[in-house]
């Protein structure tokens, strides 16, 4: 069995995790300092968002050099020391590759701007833009240069898109992969992996076909087969916003030898209803459950999933899907439902202590380029649009919610730094922090620890059910209860979770309950956000 099937991965946003030199920015030494904490939690791998050399226009997702460490995070020696400490605790390191685009400060792009023929073809240049396309961050996706030429940037203007049809680009990334494998990494997370398979045919684009599926998968297979990736049991996970179950299987079916797993976002976007994410509706639980069920059933035995409800691009999990008034209860309920599914769970930093969205008082407190570029884009269309309106518009779904510094204790700046934090500290840090969570045996931290141990203890029959069992929804139309069962051989796990702030009647057998997020259980009645786990050996 692949090592990554029974572990939980912890995502670290390095800028916000732990600062050791008091410049207000987290660093690699800070991550190393907290590895014993992550070992106590029980995780088997850490995914670190980009720490490569970067101008940080998009917080590291604009890479200037893939083989150098950004000085704000430390040095290559710091990375090597982090690797040694992780090895001591048997924790793998997953690095974050941004392969769709580079920084405009990257040597390749700078040479392309000087019309060096080799590097000009590393990017997508044209004198006649073939996509009528908007940037993800607002505004046009084509930037004009030299009066008569444009380059494509699907994200910020400082993030020019690479041309993966160029074999030299593909060769570069094989070498980058080999470099980091030689450094001893345990895997790679591929940022917006779908986008590398761009369709540049004008007629097809007119039909709305922007991604060439066959081309995309040929790139991934070549990358794997012609690099050291093919020799290693790496956890390779693709971020696939456009992914359906069919597409996820193409990526992750072991026979195809591409990725180990994908992040699919259909469940995340289930309440967006073809509207901007900022205007998301209230969660439709029946719809949400059916999406989870579809992915569990169709991927089962055909591939593998990365399980998640939050990350650096999404609101805090409890603020988005749970109930801040029932922070602990709803946090435990969401975690139980997620961790008992088939796949590899990803825990985003702070999730294990129940960190919440942050209240920003003005637009200037925000750092994220998406927020600011979106404001400028809307302002151009509507003169009456104010910063105050925009602040309210982006409040729940903005990415800075997830990026506020980690809350370690009640001390100055939540124990994150003794300097000035690069981003606002959430004002609730005196009530929500790691130090207090570790002192409370009923905290979310210890709940996560139990869920992680269920999965990684292969001597426990529960682990076999989690990893291998089939999936079946219970009462799929229920708008308040998320219940399902997992079965493998003669063992069965049943999850029953009240995803509401009401007391809800629901029939269940109390005899075989092995986990309960309340200290009592009623007969066939669940308290607000009460969740139970039942194990039955037949």
CA distance 89 to 75: 22
Residue 472 catalytic? no
Largest CA distance in the chain: 75
Structure tokens at 61: 């997702």
Q: Which residue in this structure is represented by tokens 């908007």?
A: 134
CA distance 452 to 339: 8
Helix (H) or strand (E) segment spanning residue 45: strand 45-48
CA angle, residues 99, 104, 107, in degrees to nearest 5: 85
In degrees and rounded to multiples of 5, residue 8 shows phi and psi of: -115, 135
Q: Do 531 and 495 contact (CB within 8 A), yes or no?
A: yes
CA distance 117 to 98: 23
Of 431, 429, 405, give the one whose Cα is nearest residue 419: 405
What contacts 143, CB < 8 A, 6 or more positions away? 150, 151, 153, 157, 160
Considering the candidates 143, 212, 239, 368, report the single residue annotated as catalytic. Answer: 239
Sign of CA dihedral 136, 141, 145, 147: negative
CA distance 248 to 242: 10
Which DSSP letter does residue 518 get? Answer: S
To the nearest 10°, report the CA torsion of 46, 355, 42, 88. 50
Considering the candidates 19, 78, 96, 191, report the single residue annotated as catalytic. Answer: 191
Residue 191 catalytic? yes
In degrees and rounded to multiples of 5, residue 487 shows phi and psi of: -135, 135
**What amino acid positions are annotated as catalytic residues?**
191, 239
């Amino acid at each position: 069995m692949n090592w990554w099937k029974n572990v939980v991965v912890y995502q670290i946003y390095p800028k916000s995790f732990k600062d050791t030199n008091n410049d207000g920015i987290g660093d690699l030494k800070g991550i190393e300092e907290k590895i014993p904490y992550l070992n106590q939690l029980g995780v088997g791998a850490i995914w670190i968002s980009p720490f490569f050399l970067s101008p940080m226009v998009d917080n590291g997702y604009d890479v200037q050099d893939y083989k150098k460490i950004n000085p704000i995070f430390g040095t290559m020696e710091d990375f090597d020391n982090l690797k040694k400490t992780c090895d001591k605790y048997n924790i793998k390191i997953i690095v974050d590759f941004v392969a769709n685009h580079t920084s405009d400060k990257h040597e390749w792009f700078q040479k392309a701007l000087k019309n060096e023929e080799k590097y000009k073809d590393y990017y997508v240049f044209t004198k006649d833009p073939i996509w009528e396309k908007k940037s993800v961050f607002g505004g046009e996706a084509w930037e004009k240069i030299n009066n008569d030429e444009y380059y494509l940037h699907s994200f910020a203007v400082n993030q020019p898109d690479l041309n993966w049809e160029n074999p030299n680009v593909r060769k570069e990334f094989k070498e980058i992969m080999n470099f980091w494998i030689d450094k001893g990494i345990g895997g790679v997370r591929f940022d917006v992996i779908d986008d590398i398979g761009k369709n540049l045919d004008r007629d097809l684009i007119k039909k709305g076909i922007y991604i060439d599926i066959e081309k995309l998968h040929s790139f991934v297979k070549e990358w794997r087969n012609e690099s050291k990736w093919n020799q290693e049991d790496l956890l390779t996970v693709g971020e696939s916003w456009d992914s359906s179950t069919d597409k996820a299987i193409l990526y992750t079916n072991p026979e195809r030898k591409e990725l180990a797993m994908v992040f699919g976002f259909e469940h995340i976007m289930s309440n967006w209803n073809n509207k901007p994410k900022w205007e998301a509706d209230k969660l439709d639980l029946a719809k949400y459950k059916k999406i989870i069920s579809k992915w569990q059933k169709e991927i089962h035995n055909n591939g593998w999933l990365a399980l998640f409800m939050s990350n650096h691009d999404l609101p805090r999990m409890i603020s988005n899907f749970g109930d801040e008034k029932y922070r602990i209860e709803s946090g435990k309920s969401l975690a139980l439902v997620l961790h008992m599914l088939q796949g590899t769970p990803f825990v985003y930093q702070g999730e294990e202590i129940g960190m919440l969205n942050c209240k920003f008082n003005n637009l200037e407190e925000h750092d994220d380029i998406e927020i600011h570029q979106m404001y400028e884009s809307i302002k151009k269309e509507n003169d009456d649009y104010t910063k105050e309106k925009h602040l309210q518009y982006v409040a729940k779904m903005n990415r800075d919610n997830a990026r506020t510094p980690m809350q370690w204790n009640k001390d100055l700046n939540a124990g994150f730094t003794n300097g000035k934090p690069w981003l606002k500290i959430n004002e609730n840090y005196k009530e929500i922090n790691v130090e207090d969570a570790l002192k409370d045996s009923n905290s979310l931290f210890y709940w996560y620890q139990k869920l992680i141990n269920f999965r990684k203890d292969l001597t426990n029959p529960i682990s076999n059910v989690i990893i291998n069992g089939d999936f079946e929804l219970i009462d799929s139309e229920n708008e308040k209860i998320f219940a399902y069962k997992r079965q493998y051989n003669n063992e069965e796990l049943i999850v029953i979770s009240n995803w509401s702030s009401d007391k809800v009647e629901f029939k269940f057998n109390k005899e075989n309950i092995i986990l309960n997020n309340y200290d009592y259980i009623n007969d066939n009645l669940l308290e607000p956000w009460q969740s139970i786990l039942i194990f039955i050996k037949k």
